[in-house]
Homo-oligomer: A and B are copies of this chain.
């Protein structure tokens, strides 16, 4: 094993952070000047928990979001549902991610409305409120089925 081989192998490990950042760029379509884009990776907590953004980037994005099995659209669908089910305000950011990876507005609303029989109306209504605001900000309109 040459020094170079070792270096390469080392790079793999070292790159978990890099891998996470690349995944975020892919998800948010953000450029190298602002690599995490609209994604909150917790770097507002540098003063009290400076290691937090490392966990978000390396574990959540470098490992879990980089896992094979699901495509990005499916990953964001899953994320949104987990947030609706728990009533978390982060739903707004992930609606944005949904649009960014190519989920249609109809799919995003479809996902949230599909939760009604499983989590009840209140959680769904609260999530739709945030979604509606994001859609307004993003200038997105929903093609509504004629009924």
- Say whether, besides A10-B13, A87-B87, A110 and B70 are in contact (CB < 8 Å): yes
**B3, B56, B111: which contacts A78 (Cβ < 8 A)?**
B111
Give the oligomeric copy count.
6
Does A69 sit at the interface, judged by CB under 8 A?
yes
Among the interface residues A49, A64, A131, which one has the most CB atoms of the partner chain B within 10 A?
A49
Residues of A within 8 A of B (CB-CB), count: 76
By the criterion CB–CB under 8 Å, are A118 and B117 in contact?
A: no
Does A101 sit at the interface, judged by CB under 8 A?
no
> Binding site of A, secondary structure by majority: helix, strand, loop or mixed?
helix
Chain B neighbourhood of A128, CB < 8 A? 42, 45, 48-49, 52
In angstroms, Cα B85 to Cα A56, docked, is 18
In angstroms, Cα B40 to Cα A90, docked, is 23
Q: Closest CB of chain B to A87's CB: distance in Å?
A: 7
Does A38 sit at the interface, judged by CB under 8 A?
no
Chain B neighbourhood of A112, CB < 8 A? 49
By the criterion CB–CB under 8 Å, are B114 and A79 in contact?
A: yes
Q: Tell me the chain A residues, 96-147 only, with Cβ under 8 Å from chain B.
A: 105-107, 109-123, 125-126, 128-129, 131-132, 135, 141-142, 144-145, 147
